[in-house]
Every structure is written in C-alpha cells, then in structure tokens.
Structure 1
Amino acid sequence: MIMSVSVGHSDIDSLVLAVRDREARRLIGEAITAYRGGALRSAIMSTWIAVAYDIIAKARELAGQGEAAPRALVTDLDAAIAAKDKRKLQSIESELLDKANSDLELLAPHEYSALARLQEDRHLCAHPAFVVEDELFQPSPELVRAHIVHALQHLLIHAPLQGKSAIARFDADLLGPAFPATAEDIGTFLRARYLDRAKDVLVVNLIKAIIAAPFGAERPKYASKVRTLAVVLREIAKSKTAIYDGIMPAFVAAKVGQIQDDVLLSICPFLESDARLWDWMLEPDRMRIRRLLETADVESLKAHAAFDAFAIPPLSAVLLERFNGFDLTTQISVVSEHPRRELVQPAIDLYSGAGSFRGAEMLGQSVILPTAPFFEQADVEALLGAVRENDQIWYAGGTPDVLEQVFDLTKTILGLTREYWQAFVDGQIARMEGDASEYYAYPGLQQKLAENP
C-alpha cells in the first residue's frame, strides 16, 4: 500500500525557488514530487541525484574560473564519460561528496555530515539486502523531508564561492581598482557578490581573514586598506549579525594577543568600526594599545590610523592629550588627514586663532571643511562666532567660499542653525553699512538662506 504525504506550499517550495542551477532545480523537484506522493525511497534516491549533479555543476563552474582541484575532478569525469568507463564513473560518484568537502571546499563540517547521511540512506534504498520485506529500509516522511531540506540549504541554493577560492576572490576584489569606496556601496557589493547566499562557513572564514589581513605576513599590501577592511567587517556584521556576534568575542581575544607590537595600532580602525572589540580583548592587550598610543610618534599614529581609537572613551582621553601636545603644524595635519567628531572643537580653536588672511583661508580648507560633516548645532554657532570676532577670517577673500561649503555640509541641521547663519549675514551687512551686495556681506550665504526657507 502506498502512503500519500500531503504537503502544501512550504519552506521547501521557497528554497526550491532559490536553487541556482535550472537542472538541479528540476531534479530536486522530482524528489519533492516523489516525497509528496509517498514514494519515499524514490525521493531519497532523487535527492541524491540532485546533490551529485549539483556538485559536478559547481565543479565545472569553478574549473572554468581556473581552480586547480575542480579542474582535476572535471578532467577525470570527462575522461571516464568519453571512455564509457562505468567502474571509473562509479568510483567518482562514490567519492564525490568527499571531494566536495575536502577538495572543492563547498561544505562546512555539519553540512558534510548531513549529506553523508543522505548518501548512506541512498545506498540502503538503491541496494536493499535480500531479507524479508518487513526488514527492508523504511524511511519516514520526516527523514525524507530532512534530506531534501538539507540538500537545498547546504548545497543547491548556494553559489560555488566557498573556502579558499572565495577568500582569494575577495582579496582580488579588495585590492583591485574597482572596489567600492563608500560604506553603502561596500555593503551592497558584499551582499550581492558574497553574502546573500553564502554559507556560514564562508562568512566565518571571511571575518577571520579580514581581521588577520593587516597583521600577517602579507600585511604590506593591506597597509592602505585597513580602514576599508574595517568598513567591510562592519557591513558583514550588519548582514550576518548572528554569525558575527557568535564568533567574534573568542576570536578577537585570541587573535589580538598574537599581534606584534609594531603593527598592533592597526587594530584602531576596527575599534572605530565596532567598539565592542575593546571589550572582547584581554586586559594585557588593552594595556599594550594604551601604551603604544602614549608613546608612538605622530607619523606612526597617522600611518596606523590610530586616531580612529577616539571611538573608545578610555583611549579618547589618551589621544586628546597627545593631540594637545603636538605643535600647530602637526595638529593641523592630524585634523586634515583624520577628521572626526572628537576633533571638531580643536579644529574650530585652530581656526579662531588665524593671524592672517592667507592663514585663515588655509585653516578653513584644512581643518574646518574636513570636520564640517561632523558639526552639531553648537559647533555652527561657535564657528560663526569665531569668524565674526576675527577680522583676519571674515575679511579673508576665501572665507565666503568656505562658509558656503560649511552651510551645504551642515544643511541637515539647518532647522537648528538658521538663526546663527541669519545673525551672521545680518551682522556682515551691517558692517558693510547696509549694502547687502558687498562681497563681505556674504551674498552667497544670503542666497543659500533664501533658497532654503
């Protein structure tokens, strides 16, 4: 008597829609049809056929990309097919799952175990022992459904971007000229190319590779990419939060302790990306970082983007003390090259002390414009106050252009700062004896205020 298994639209149907390869989708569809019709042994055998086909399809895709191990597998398979060597073909099929796991690196350990159970059950269905009927292998509907779901989740819906080949491809992308520049674009790129259908094992390996890259034997080639790597890590954390939060505390605690002192400050951009890294570190490593921030010369601090550690309150105090001890030229270079919220007030202080027209123009370009995106309401008020009170600033030919750019960069808070801008231009018009068209009445700012009611 045939048992019918009635299952409507389910998570299986949703998974089938995500299968990449059209033929693999058709083959797993046959397995699902058999399962729903109660032909449970047939469903298991059809599921294995879909898995075997998909492994071979992925091997061919990877071989086409120049991967050595997949190319060797495809070469052996094609030779056996051409020679009609059935014994060789049987051997290849029996070893297919092992090769997918070890050579192609398509599977995580738990995924390999699940598909190995499918292969074992397939053998029981295809080669029953000659025993009485009651002792034949009788798969349950639940077991068959689990095999189908595992085949879909662990293999069929994923691109062949796993293991070392995926990490190598990411490395090439990162170091190439076309890698995105903004956090938003980086997030979109990562999701589309790597994360949307990535297995957990790929995400874990990618996270570990990103953390390790600036500190390993090949660190020179990543010297200019540390901040980009930190942004990549943050975007992975957004997309794969559970995986990221699950592995990072233990990994950070172990990894940071292995980093040599001469490159340890390169961890600072990662602290900016996720301040929790500071809590995940062991206390001896936190002590090392504090001491390095206290003693490193300014060029080392800039080279390692160490000022990103302002994101950590205990380190912010150390960095601010170091900053205050630098000469003016060094302070200007630090603000210009590493603008951030914590340096807004120092930037305004530097600007307010301008002693010449050209000095005011230089400071406007080098310290005010870089920090303007971080301005808050009180900062706009303080800036305009500094300009108003120093005739070397407001009477400098380049200041109107600087303030117009600041206006544009802080437009999102115009509702809070309009009164300051209006008071400033009103004061300048008064200085020009009521002539609003005078250059130092800042007609460009007047126009921007009128255009943004």
Structure 2
Amino acid sequence: MLDLEEILGRVWNPDVRPLAAEAYRSYTTGSARACIILTWGAVAADLIDKLQRLGEDGEGTAKDIAQKIDAARAKSDVKAMQDVEAALLENAQMLELLDFVEARDLQRLREDRHLCAHPSLRPLGDFYAPSLELARAHLVGALQAVLIHPPSQGRNVVDRFTGHVADAAFTGNEEYLTHTFFDQVKPTVRRRIVDVAAKVACLEPDGLPDPPGASKVADRMADCLRLFAARDRTLVATHLKKAVSRLGDKPRAVQIRSVGRLGYLDVFWSAVTPPLRGQLGGLVASIQSRPDMGLSDIQSRLLSLVGLDQPRKLLPELETKFAELDLFDRALVINKRPGKYFTGRLPPLLEKEAAHNFRMAELLTRLAVLPCAPHLDEHTLATLLETWTANDQCLYASEMPQNALTLYRTTQHLRLVDESIWKDFITRARSLVPGHEGSSAYHYNEVAEAIGM
C-alpha cells in the first residue's frame, strides 16, 4: 500500500501542502466527508496557481485565465471565481497539465465534493455518506495526478528534453536527466519522452538539429535511454520495440550506428526479431576495413559488442568478424568497449607483427592495453609484460616507461598478487637495456620506484 505520508512530503507547492496534509488528517480520523472536501480544495488551489504561473510564462490561454483569476480576486468576486473553478479541469487538460484519464478522475472528485459540501443536493435524511476507502482513493489520485508535479505542460517538457539533448551544453548528467525528465514528470509525459528518445536513438529521423548532427543527438538519446531503463526497464523496452520494428527499413549506415549505440542494452535485443537478427548478422559479416585507415568509428563501435555476452550469443557473426580483423583493427574495436573478454587478446598486440615500430607500440598500448587494465588478471598481466620486454619496439619506445607506470597504477586490483610479476618485468628490462642498472630511461625506473624495487 502507498505510504501517503511520504507522498504528502512531495507536494511541490508549499502553500498547498498544508491543505493536502489536513485532508490526510481528516482521513486518519475517520472523516471521509471532510477529506474529500479538503482534497478538492487542494486540487483547485494547486491548478489555479499553476495556471497563473503558466500565464506569467507567456502561455496564451493560461494568460487569459490568469487575468480572470486576478480580476476576481481583486474584487472578491465569488461568482467569477466559481466560473473559473467550474472550467478548471477542462482548462488544465487543454494546457496538458492533466490527461484525459486524470481529468475524468478529478471530475468525479469534484462531484463528490459537491455532494459532501452541499447536503441539500440530496433529500433530507438521505445525505451522501462516502466511505473512507473512497476518500483515500480521491486523495491518492489527487496527489499522483496533480499535487506532486510542478507546473510543466506535457508538450513543454518534451520540447525542453529534446532541446536539452541537442544543446551544446549537454553533459549527460545522470542526476539531472533522471530527476528533470523522468522522476518529476507525470507517467503520460514520461512515456512521450521515452518514445522520442527511442525513435531518435534507433532511427535517426529527419529534422534533427545540425549541429550537433543526427548521429550525435542519437548517441545522446541512447545515453538517456540507458538511464531511463534503470528506472523502468519495461517502459523503455515497450517503446524500443516499436522503434526497432522499423530499423530493418533504414539505410545500412543508420543500422550500423543504431546497433552500435544501443546494442549494449539488453532491452534492445529483447526487441530484435529473428528476421531482423539475421539482417543484422549479414550487416556485421559485410563490414570491411578501409585501406590504410582501419575500421571507421561506427564500424568499430558495432564490432565492440563482441565483448558482451548477449550480443555475442545472438550475433555469432561478431566473433567471426573480430577473429578476421588484423591486429590494429582489433585494437580499434577494443578501445570502444574495454572489458574482460578482450584481455586475452592483448599480448599479441605487443608482438612485433603488430607493434612493428616505436610509434605503433605506443599507439596500441594507448588504444587497447591501458583501457583494459582494470580487467586484467595476474596471468594475463604476466604474459603481457613478457611480450612487452620481448619486443624491442615496445621496450625502447619513448612513451613506454610512462605507459608502464600507468598500467601499474590502473591494476590496483592486483596489488596483492602482482609484486613478483612487476619485479620480473623490471629485471628483464634492465638486463636487455645497455648501461648500468637504473641509469637508462628504459630501465623503467618510475615503475621500479613505485613497487619499491
């Protein structure tokens, strides 16, 4: 059962909160009639204040209503205020402060309020006697439909969301996005926001702002979907399913980008049908590296899904294609999504076939080895460092001593078992580099000092 006291604390308007609290106290003391009357009073006060705020923000219809409210209050005109209240729910629905279902439920509350407040509407001795269960239902409905939400129209919230995602100042802050566009909006608006995010992330529809460009906006929408899925996986899955059903008709480039940005979400794969999965498998199999340039960014992002269990199982072509790549392209793929799956593939990157000169050794280390460092185990680390010292292009490259120190610092999780591995590495390096012990830059003195050697 809902904790009403907790929900009451979320009433957004501090001036309305005492009315809602008084309605709750009436309910707890067994006065259903008073609870219903006070609940409608809180709703009316809340909606009137929201209409005034929207009027101040320049919303045309709300501005006209706000002027009527101000005029009625200035003259203490009860009849004019009754007219405002009589049209309150209709105006709130028109301005998207309420949806149809919420307006219908609050209309029932208003009718029950009239029966409670005006006994003369029923024959003498046949007064309306609402139950406590009905009073509680009205209070809960009012809280969830109106009282806990700020004065934002559904259309405006969605527009603010899409505008924020396209803005140059977009940061993807988890707390801001989930609080502003998910937790603090009504379910109907939340569904619209998730639907927009799913369509843009999956399909890159026409008309997206440039800059930042369709692909960038879609990437940001995918980040939002990840955050929203952590709040309501079913909601995101429902709207992604609708968007994914249209993915098969999109151009090949859009399909590659879409799977690359969404394929790490399990809710994406739950929406992929067997025919579409076959189509995507063929897409993966057809990927070709660019001569002298390697894989493109979107190609490597797509193939990086091989590091995740679910995509690898559903699209076996990922593993097949990854195995066919040359070592440099593998490094590009690993860089997109470093993880445990790739750690066993790191030592060959430092062999002379791949790291065939100083600059390539440094590049491959930065691209793949260092990003995967948090996922290494002691056996893979030992093999990696043995390969490092066995290739003079790694051993003598100017950046590699600093890279080794970075690798040591980013393998903190191995601190209890890796001391001998690093000491062996230093000993081998110094035995292979001319000069007195510790006198050469390639004696890896920084790492030796870090491990106390």
Cα gap change, 1:52 to 1:149, in 2 (>3 Å): same
Aligned partners of 1:83, 1:450: CA distance in 2, in Å? 84
TM-score by length of 1: 0.82
Q: Is the 8 A contact 1:339 1:371 kept in 2?
A: yes
**Mean alpha-carbon deviation: is it higher for 76-85 or for 314-323?**
76-85
Query: 2:305 is aligned with what amino acid?
Result: A
For 1:285, the equivalent position in structure 2 comes to 276
For 1:207, the equivalent position in structure 2 comes to 194
- Offset, 1:24: 0.6
Aligned-pair RMSD on alpha carbons? 3.3
For 2:164, the equivalent position in structure 1 comes to 173
Aligned partners of 1:18, 1:164: CA distance in 2, in Å? 23
Q: Is the 8 A contact 1:125 1:137 kept in 2?
A: yes
Aligned partners of 2:182, 2:79: CA distance in 1, in Å? 39
Question: Among the aligned pairs, what percent are the same residue?
Answer: 26
- Offset, 1:121: 0.7
Q: Is the 8 A contact 2:405 2:446 kept in 1?
A: yes
Alignment of 1:306 with 2:297, yes or no, is no
Aligned partners of 1:225, 1:374: CA distance in 2, in Å? 31
Q: Structure 1: 5+ residue runs without aligned partners? A: 1-9
* CA deviations over 1:430-452 (Å, ceiling 9, x no partner): 4457713432221111122239x
Cα gap change, 1:383 to 1:54, in 2 (>3 Å): same
Aligned partner of 2:246 among 246, 255, 258: 258
- Offset, 1:133: 2.3
Aligned partner of 1:153 among 144, 152, 162: 144
SS of residue in 1 equivalent to 2:128: coil
For 2:39, the equivalent position in structure 1 comes to 47
For 2:85, the equivalent position in structure 1 comes to 93
Q: Structure 2: 5+ residue runs without aligned partners? A: none
Aligned partners of 2:67, 2:268: CA distance in 1, in Å? 46
Q: How many residues align?
A: 433
Query: 1:234 is aligned with what amino acid?
Result: R
Cα gap change, 1:89 to 1:264, in 2 (>3 Å): farther
For 2:388, the equivalent position in structure 1 comes to 387
Q: Is the 8 A contact 2:195 2:240 kept in 1?
A: no
Q: Is the 8 A contact 2:343 2:372 kept in 1?
A: yes
SS of residue in 2 equivalent to 1:135: coil
For 1:194, the equivalent position in structure 2 comes to 181
* CA deviations over 1:173-217 (Å, ceiling 9, x no partner): 222343335xxxx32223433344443333322222211113223
Alignment of 1:403 with 2:395, yes or no, is no
For 2:13, the equivalent position in structure 1 comes to 21
* CA deviations over 1:116-164 (Å, ceiling 9, x no partner): 2211212222344554322221112222222222222322122234522
Alignment of 1:117 with 2:108, yes or no, is yes
Cα gap change, 1:201 to 1:361, in 2 (>3 Å): same
- Offset, 1:267: 3.0
- Offset, 1:307: 3.0
SS of residue in 1 equivalent to 2:175: helix
* CA deviations over 1:388-429 (Å, ceiling 9, x no partner): 111121122221011111222222333343332222112223
For 1:5, the equivalent position in structure 2 comes to none
- Offset, 1:352: 1.9
* CA deviations over 1:308-346 (Å, ceiling 9, x no partner): 533311466423433454566655544455655555454
* CA deviations over 1:6-27 (Å, ceiling 9, x no partner): xxxx933332222121111122
**Mean alpha-carbon deviation: is it higher for 209-218 or for 312-321?**
312-321
Displacement over 6 Å in runs of 4+: none
Aligned partners of 2:367, 2:222: CA distance in 1, in Å? 25
TM-score by length of 2: 0.82
Cα gap change, 1:37 to 1:388, in 2 (>3 Å): closer
Aligned partners of 2:101, 2:376: CA distance in 1, in Å? 50
Aligned partner of 1:436 among 416, 435, 438: 438
Query: 1:292 is aligned with what amino acid?
Result: L
Aligned partners of 2:165, 2:274: CA distance in 1, in Å? 32
Alignment of 1:417 with 2:418, yes or no, is yes
Cα gap change, 1:171 to 1:434, in 2 (>3 Å): same
- Offset, 1:31: 2.7
